[in-house]
Amino acid sequence: MKKLILILALGISMQTLAQTESTKENVEPQTQDEDPQISELEKEEAFLSPALEIPDVVRLGEEMVFDASPSKIMSLSDYGNPNYSWDFGDDSDIKFGEVVKYTYEEAGIYTVKMNIKQGSERESIEKSIQVYTKQMVLITDVLKETLASVDAEAADEGVLLNVIEVPKDSSDLSNEDSVIRKFQENLEMLKGSEAILFYTSSTQTMQAFGQFWKLISAESQEALRSKLLVQISASSLDRDAKLIQPVYEIVQPDFIVLTRPEALNPIFTRAEISGVLNELSLRGIEVRQVDAKSRIPVYLPFSRLLNLFSSSGLSQTVIYLLLSVPFLAFMIAFFRQFVGVSTFGVLAPLMLSLAFLVLGLQFGMAVFLVVMLVSWAIRVLFDKVELLYIPKVALLLSCLALSFFLVLGLAVYFEASLDLSLTIFPMMVMSSMSEKFLSSQSAEGIRSALIAVVETVLVSLIAYAFVDWALIKDNVLAMPELIILPILGTVWLGRFTGLRVSEYIKFRSLLREDSQE
């Protein structure tokens, strides 16, 4: 019995010893796994990561604070206190400290270098800052390559040039609205500048500035009135001066400078902005001064009347829409009467061209395609239901109006630069094409109706391209008396009794036989 008890005790002791050894083996690997983690953490702390907080730009004479406190340093107990040194990039003495103050004495672009030394470790970081003497705003639609050279030229002359990029000038109202929104978003920047430079392909952006002026407070108007306004133009300065005159009447600055692209450097280098005109004249650069003396003469009453409308706040884009109607009507009449193209009358293509001007070509074509697709779908649907013609057209227009919600939804989704309140009427006017389409289809068949639609759209696009041409637009706005030309042309078409171009093509075989006889 004693032997049995002894054997059991020995077995229990052996089992306990085995469990103890197993526990040690399990614990030891964990300890070995923890050591690399600790060493890795120590490694992460054992390096310098320099960082600094300084502004990108500063006006000449203002004291700057250079702060290196965001830098990551190593353990103070192991490596000691870090040493900071600053090189300001202007051949001045090096300064020491985590936070230092410094004032630049000359304008330019400088590279600031901050060095950290802690123990045997040494790191550095660099950052460029611009010290400027003048602040200007450049509103432009030019290429980025040209813009980069202009920006560099301004920086070399100590000018901080803030750039506002605007879309290319066009006749559609949405373009003007997007430019005005740009001005509203950058109002504080405009107020803080000493000069506002317009470097655009036409004067439409400055004309939009006149509309923007009407929307801001009297305090903001007073702050902007003292700025130097410059229009950089590559076209006729005399013509552009007439287009800018309404802006002068609205803003009432001392004057507006109209000059060439090569005048940018003298404007940047001139110490006193008030002497820019004399500087440009001395350098032989073409320049015009738009002020009270450059008002339109009395022998151009229509021009004076439209200038009065513009200076009262009426958009020149709206004025041009009205002035373009005689040109559009002449173009459509020319293609119908002289060329022999079949369209849905004169009113339908004319309204379609105006819709393109208001909506823009891309959005206008999208609306037109929706009109045609919905008209076709409703025709297929109504063919199965016996309805009289007038109720059928009324239902068609109602369905078209509802379908425009899809177009507006897409415009909102893609954040199109459109004033949607201005798009409703042109869209509804464009829907009148559907009635013409149904009427032609009922009278002549689907093939003839489709041909008429295609010809109507082609004529509308040609007429739109003509009146959207910057050369035509600028000259008509500068000299609105030119509308007499399309009116006289329409009178000539009314007295034209010869064969149309299409008739010469259609009956060319008969004409050839007559000439042979």
| Average pLDDT of the residues in 67-87 | 88
pLDDT band for position 344 (50/70/90)? confident
CB atoms under 10 Å from CB of 476, counted, come to 21
How much is the average pLDDT of 316-336? 92
Residue 179 in this model has a pLDDT that exceeds 60? yes
Write down the CATH number for the domain with range 57-130. Answer: 2.60.40.10
313: left (phi over 0), alpha (psi -120 to 50) or beta: left
Question: With bands split at pLDDT 50, 70 and 90, how would you rate the model's confidence at 39?
Answer: very low
- CATH 2.60.40.10 location in the chain: 57-130
Question: Of the spans 44-48, 111-115, 317-321, which averages the highest pLDDT?
Answer: 111-115
Q: What is the DSSP letter of 49?
A: B
Lateral strand order in the sheet of 287-290: 159-165, 134-140, 195-199, 228-232, 256-259, 287-290
Which of the four pLDDT bands, split at 50, 70 and 90, describes residue 480?
A: very high
Q: Nearest 10 degrees: CA dihedral of 22, 23, 25, 26? A: 120
| pLDDT at residue 116 is higher than 60 | yes
Using the predicted structure, report yes or no on whether residue 23 has a pLDDT greater than 60. Answer: no
For 47-69, write each residue's pLDDT tens digit.
778 888 888 899 998 999 999 98
Q: Between residues 53 and 325, which one has the greater pLDDT? A: 325
Q: Does the structure show a pLDDT above 50 at 40? A: no
Quick: pLDDT tens for 121-132.
899 999 999 999
Residue 24 pLDDT greater than 50, yes or no? no
Q: Where are the alpha helices (DSSP H) in 414-483?
A: 420-430, 432-444, 446-467, 470-478
Q: Does residue 302 carry a pLDDT above 50?
A: yes
The pLDDT score that the predictor gives to residue 271 is: 57
Percent of residues, the chain, with pLDDT higher than 70: 85
228 in Cβ contact with 195 (< 8 Å)? yes
Three-state SS across 296-353?
A: CCCCCHHHHHHHHHHHCCCCHHHHHHHHHHHHHHHHHHHHHHHHCCCCCCCHHHHHHH
pLDDT value for 449: 81
In CATH terms, the fold of domain 134-311 is: Rossmann fold (3.40.50)
Please, which pLDDT band fits residue 512 given cuts at 50, 70 and 90?
low
Q: Is the pLDDT of residue 221 over 80?
A: yes
pLDDT above 70 for 236: yes
Q: Which residues lie across from 102 on neighbouring strands?
A: 64
Q: What is the pLDDT of residue 172?
A: 55
Residue 89: pLDDT above 80?
yes
Q: What is the mean pLDDT of residues 37-46?
A: 46
Contact between residue 227 and residue 196 where contact means Cβ atoms under 8 Å apart: yes
pLDDT at residue number 446 = 76
Interval 34-55 mean pLDDT: 61
Least confident of 215-224, 317-326, 380-389, 474-483: 380-389
Indicate yes or no: pTM above 0.85: no
Residue 29 has pLDDT above 70, yes or no: no
35-44, 154-163, 360-369, 503-512, range with the lowest pLDDT? 35-44
Mean pLDDT confidence for 374-387: 77
Beta bridge partners of residue 272, listed in sequence order? none
Give pLDDT, residue 367: 81
Nearest C-alpha neighbor of 75 from the set 53, 44, 97: 44
Name the more confident of 419 and 237: 237
Label residue 123 exposed, middle or buried (CB < 10 Å: 0-12, 13-18, 19+): middle
pLDDT confidence of residue 96 = 93
Least confident of 168-177, 342-351, 359-368: 168-177
